[in-house]
Chains A and B, each alone.
Chain A
Amino acid sequence: MTTRRRMPKRTWLTDSPVAAVVLPIIGLAAAIGLWWGATVAFSIQPYLLPSPWDVVVKFFEQPGYLLQETGTSLLETIEGFLLAIVIGVPIALVIVRSVILERLAYPLLLMVNSIPKVAIAPLLVIWMGFGQWPKVVMVLLMCFFPIVISTAQGMKSTPTELVELMRSLNASRAQEFFKLRLRYAMPQIFTGFKVAISLAVIGSVISEFVGATKGLGYVIQQSGASADTTLAFAAITLLSVMSIVLFYALVLLEHWLLPWAQEKR
């Protein structure tokens, strides 16, 4: 309260739930409009930059095929993401319990994270074959780090006064963990999930560039080979849509599970 901070003005545009939906759509529409305008104004060749309309037309030439490939990528993304949660969250919970473990594990995590994922995509194929496993593992590798870091961070953010409260009530360690620390960490864990889900989509595409016969990444690679820029754009658009839908699904889930966290901004 001692520092003077200018409060952002609160209006209908910042507070109404309708605006929360309408504003992102306006932003997106404006970007697409600009893209369209550019292709028309500079009469750019479709094989360099197709117009949004070309992309839509392309999609409707073979909607079944493209949707099926989207489904493949979506499944890999979700599987890898869930696997990253199942493995990453418990690891983070164990790590924060001991300073020694944390010091041991962090450089390792950083190292794994700093490896360019494209570089190990071929290796994953060698190790796991052409099936969906190398893809799922790639997604897992992409998601793992932000999930571990944010979970660990969240688990360390419990206010001391609340810890002291639990102690004064003679809470067991398990009660302190489940009734306080884990619950308090949830908003930060969700922040990690939201970062991870976008990376998950990227991971699935990278893995489909190598040793794949399915998925949007494969479509993009093939369209590159045949200079079908419009098809590549259609696939990229589907990827973006997938990314956005997954992200907002998490946002909705967070609103529903953690209604108390929204006011803490």
Chain B
Amino acid sequence: MIRLDGVGQVFDGREGQVTALEKIDLHVRGGEFVTLIGRSGCGKSTLLRLIAGLLPPTSGAVQVAGQPVTGPRRDVSFMFQRPALLPWRSVLSNVMLPVEIDKGQGDRGKAAYRDRARQLLELVGLQGFERRLPHELSGGMQQRVSLCRSLIRDPQVMLMDEPFSALDALTRTELSEELQRIKMELSTTIVFVTHSIEEAVLLADRVVVLTPRPGRMREVVDIDIPRPRSLGQNAHLTEVAAISGRLHALLAEKESGEPGVPGEVRPVDEVRP
């Protein structure tokens, strides 16, 4: 569904060039849930924006559904760290925004979409809040609205950039479980950025570990724990612990001063003054 071949991204920063991503080769299968994990600044958001078509890569090729990405696609939705709701629109009208912007191209009538919006709001426990304004909702509720908005056009691909990281732990767990349910129901392909190991293990079929400066793929870890998974009471505690430990080691590696993998000598041109 998503294919990245030799993708790299170099930014012209104020103090010379910054290599945000380098040599990213990744293939995400249809219906797969992939989480990207890494320290902040290692290029996770940049990678998502490349897939979303919000940013053209400086090298390599990005494909979605077999087509090269040239701009935002209507079957790909993006969810941000913050809810990004329009403050003057009611909850329902915020959820309907993608349909409204895409008018003329919708494959169902507006009324059908409105029913779908109500259905989605109910799914995330927001029935009865359709006419409220965003500022009347808590942060967690706002992020649920944002989730509904990204689902309204039945996307084939959902790109989620740390969508739950600004929420309290309890709400985050709830939303993670809801997202799993939605994923199992709709078989959407999801790329989910996080810096929480717990979240990565709970949600992912595969975890891609990125290393910072330049952002490279450190390792891809498969997670074969059966779904639905939940935090807390879990029949597979030992597996969860093993995988979490492994991810932790991978993320911490650079810091603990372990020698790099042989052959990973950094080229001279990357050493910044």
Interface residues of A (CB under 8 A from B): 159, 161-162, 164-171, 175, 179-180, 183-184, 258-261, 263-264
Contacts and interface: CB of A to CB of B under 8 A. Distances in A.
In the complex, which of the residues A159, A165, A259 has the most CB atoms of chain B within 10 Å of its own CB atom?
Answer: A165
Main secondary structure of the interface of B (DSSP, over half): loop
A260 B101 contact: no
13 contacts: A161-B80, A164-B54, A165-B78, A168-B72, A168-B77, A169-B72, A169-B101, A171-B101, A260-B87, A260-B88, A260-B134, A261-B87, A264-B135
A258 B88 contact: yes
A161 B84 contact: yes
Contacts of B86: 162, 179-180, 183
Contacts of A162: 84, 86
Contacts of B87: 184, 260-261, 264
B107 interface: no
B98 interface: yes
B39 interface: no
Contacts of A261: 87-88
B223 interface: no
In the complex, which of the residues A179, A180, A260, A263 has the most CB atoms of chain B within 10 Å of its own CB atom?
Answer: A260
Contact of B80 (A165, A183, A260): A165
B88 A170 contact: no
Nearest to A163: B84
Interface string B85-110: 01110000000011011100000000
Contacts of A264: 87, 135
A178 B268 CA distance: 49
Given A168-B77, A169-B102, A261-B88, 11 more contacts: A159-B84, A161-B80, A161-B82, A164-B80, A164-B84, A168-B78, A169-B98, A180-B86, A183-B88, A260-B88, A260-B134
B190 interface: no
Contacts of A175: 101
Q: Which 7 pairs from chain A and chain B are nearest by CB?
A: A168-B78, A260-B88, A263-B135, A170-B72, A165-B84, A161-B84, A260-B87
Contact of B97 (A167, A169, A258, A259): A169
Contacts of B68: none
Nearest to B100: A179
A184 B73 CA distance: 25
Contact of A170 (B74, B84, B133): B74
Contacts of B41: none
A168 B52 contact: yes
Contact of A168 (B54, B88, B134): B54
In the complex, which of the residues B74, B86, B98, B135 has the most CB atoms of chain A within 10 Å of its own CB atom?
Answer: B86
